[in-house]
Amino acid sequence: MFGKSSAQSTAHSASQSPIGSAIASLRRVFWVVAGLSGVSNLLMLTGPLFMLQVYDRVLASQSVPTLLALVLLMIGLYLFLGSVDALRARMLVRIGWRVDEQIGPKALAQTLAIRLRNGRDMARPLNDLDQIRQFLSGAGPIAICDLPWMPLFLGIVFVFHPWLGVLALAGGVVLIILTLISEWTTRKKVAQMNAQTTARNNLVEAGCRNAEAIRAMGMLAAFRRQWATLNDRYLSDNTAVGDVNSTFSAYIKVIRLALQSGVLALGAYLAIAQEVTPGAMIAASILTARALSPVEQAIANWRGFVSARQSRDRLDQILGTQETECDRLELPAPKESLMVSNLVVATPGGKAATPQKVLLRVNELTLKAGDGLGIIGPSGSGKSTLGRAILGMGTIRGGTIRLDGAELSHWDPDRLGRYIGYLPQDVELFDDTVARNIARLMPDARSDDIVSAARAAGVHDLIQSLPNGYDTRVGAGGVVLSGGQRQRIGLARALFGDPFLIVLDEPNSNLDGAGEQSLLQAVRDARARGAIVVLIAHRPGALATVNLTTIIQDGRQVAFGARDDILRKTVRQVGEMA
């Protein structure tokens, strides 16, 4: 349904294109829609034929019963036409739904993957999918399905009289040429407008995340100016596209109306010359308008068509890079070791415009069940990058990360997630209850497991003090909670299900003394049951619960070993430098 250049068609066959495959799977439904369009267009002959019969038969015979019979037949056919059009529209809505249903999970996965790769990609797969669904569910496909029926209506006009057909055909050619010019004119403009829309939305989202900082530090005026700049560009591009579409739509409408009147005038001349009947004159005018109506509708929906086609191209490119999911052998739960060897983490990219930059190099880390690893180093040295890499996040360009000897890529991500606990620096909770946040949104989580995780994090009493206890809704991002409360509930989520590998990134940054003691006890308890705990922290007190330490400096691992030995060497080096 969406056109592509020959080069793109060669690069992306229907079997390779996720959107193409989804649409191809609905081929039968599209044929039904096309069939309904055929029935609809045939029923559109009701008006012209009714006029033809009234002028040439009823008026000539002065027969009221014939007129009454024609009126009843016309009403029945129009009611049938309404039912067919309603059914066609409902089927198109469901086609859009089915395409979204098939592609949505993949688009969501890629949306998260783009974020996990630390990318600054402006792509929004779900927004592109929305654009495609809205087009498929709208009037655009109806206009496309009606276009092939133009020759039928023009052919009937030719039957009435060749000159009437020639005039109608000439008008159709003019409208088609204007349609192609509109496509050529708006293609780049629509792409620019979509890019500006994405940039503006990104800025607004960043502003919402930093609303408190903007308000507190008097950044509102500067933020408004930046938003106004992007908004002006968006409005400019949007206006340019709107001007082109409205101009072409206006002139196409005028040409169609003028052509309809022209056919009527020519028909009148031919009727005076007794070459056509008055009924044929009226019917030819109506049929000409009907033949050219799909072109006008196509122009009216052209912006949506171009946007949907560009969205398809972007989605095909993004989803084409998605690794094919396959059933992996379910490995046994890890319970022995974590090994990192020759790890290299880089920035996304690799193209000439965005060359890659190495963010982190780690020679070796070997942890056994019950070990605790403290990752220390200056701010910006790569500590969090290492923590994320251990969990398989980021752009890993070399080396291996193994759990019980199996590389992370050998594990099914969802199954592996059961054995991992993660507390990031910035804890984001879902707009749901405390219980469901702790349970990682699992619908079948047991209450005992939720309470057990909360007790392990030392946050059970705090949760009980909330207005509705575990059933308290925390709001978007956990807005109803303080930073320390969010962090402690995030810790409970990380401990849910007694995971084997736990990575805690600055877990005490928002905690008071009591909260920090609960954290330290949680780390001790996790190690005691055989879990591996990786702790990224600035405060030396947090390292009291670990037995191993690695130092990351300027994106490199400079030391790894027993905690006391590493800290002793570090203190001695600092003293020598002083």
pLDDT at 331 over 60: yes
* Whether residue 65 is found in the same domain as residue 160: no
Domain of residue 71: give its range: 1-138
- Domain with residue 193: its CATH number is 1.20.1560.10
Helix (H) or strand (E) holding 46, with range, is: helix 46-53
- pLDDT band (50, 70, 90) for residue 324: low
Instruction: From 97, 114, 138, give the residue that closes a domain.
Output: 138
* Whether residue 153 is found in the same domain as residue 134: no
For the chain, the average pLDDT equals: 83
* Whether residue 132 is found in the same domain as residue 183: no
* Whether residue 88 is found in the same domain as residue 172: no
Strand pairing category for 548-553 and 556-562: antiparallel
* Whether residue 49 is found in the same domain as residue 3: yes
Q: Residue 396's CB: how many other CB atoms inside 10 A? A: 19
Paired residues of 533 in beta bridges: 372, 502
CA torsion, points 562, 565, 571, 573, in degrees to nearest 10?
-110
* Whether residue 349 is found in the same domain as residue 420: yes
- The secondary structure of residue 321, as a DSSP letter, is T
Give the range among 309-313, 331-335, 353-357, 436-440 with minimum mean pLDDT. Answer: 353-357
Residue 118 in any domain: the answer is: yes
Instruction: From 69, 104, 138, give the residue that closes a domain.
Output: 138
What's the full length of the chain, in residues? 578
Give the list of residues 6+ apart from residue 239 with CB closer than 8 angstroms, or none. none
- Domain with residue 444: its CATH number is 3.40.50.300
Residue 295 in any domain: the answer is: yes
* Whether residue 164 is found in the same domain as residue 220: yes
- pLDDT band (50, 70, 90) for residue 274: confident
pLDDT at 447 over 50: yes
* Whether residue 26 is found in the same domain as residue 127: yes
Q: CA-CA distance, 115 to 108, in Å (whole number)? A: 11
Residue 346 in any domain: the answer is: yes
CA separation (Å) from 572 to 47, 567, 568, 576?
97, 9, 6, 6
Residue 317 in any domain: the answer is: no
* Whether residue 50 is found in the same domain as residue 188: no
Instruction: From 101, 119, 138, give the residue that closes a domain.
Output: 138
Q: CA-CA distance, 496 to 459, in Å (whole number)? A: 13
Give the list of residues 6+ apart from residue 548 with CB closer than 8 angstroms, or none. 367, 371, 372, 373, 374, 560, 561, 562, 563
* Whether residue 240 is found in the same domain as residue 383: no
Q: How far apart are the first and last CA of the chain?
A: 72
* Whether residue 203 is found in the same domain as residue 106: no
- The secondary structure of residue 58, as a DSSP letter, is I
Residue 173 in any domain: the answer is: yes
Residue 158 in any domain: the answer is: yes
Q: What are phi and psi of 156, to 5 degrees?
A: -65, -40
- Cβ atoms 536, 361 nearer than 8 A: no
Tens digit of each residue's pLDDT (9 = 90 or more) over 542-576:
788 899 999 998 899 998 999 888 888 765 554 44
- Bin 342: left if φ > 0, else alpha if -120 < ψ < 50, else beta: left
Q: CA-CA distance, 411 to 415, in Å (whole number)? A: 7
Residue 233 in any domain: the answer is: yes
- Cβ atoms 548, 563 nearer than 8 A: yes
- Cβ atoms 295, 181 nearer than 8 A: no
* Whether residue 415 is found in the same domain as residue 495: yes
* Number of domains making up the chain: 3
Strand order in the sheet with 548-553: 406-407, 395-403, 337-346, 358-368, 556-562, 548-553, 372-376, 532-536, 501-505, 420-423
Tens digit of each residue's pLDDT (9 = 90 or more) over 364-403:
999 999 999 999 888 888 899 999 999 888 888 889 999 9
Enter the pTM of the model. Answer: 0.70
Residue 349 in any domain: the answer is: yes
Q: CA-CA distance, 43 to 91, in Å (whole number)? A: 19
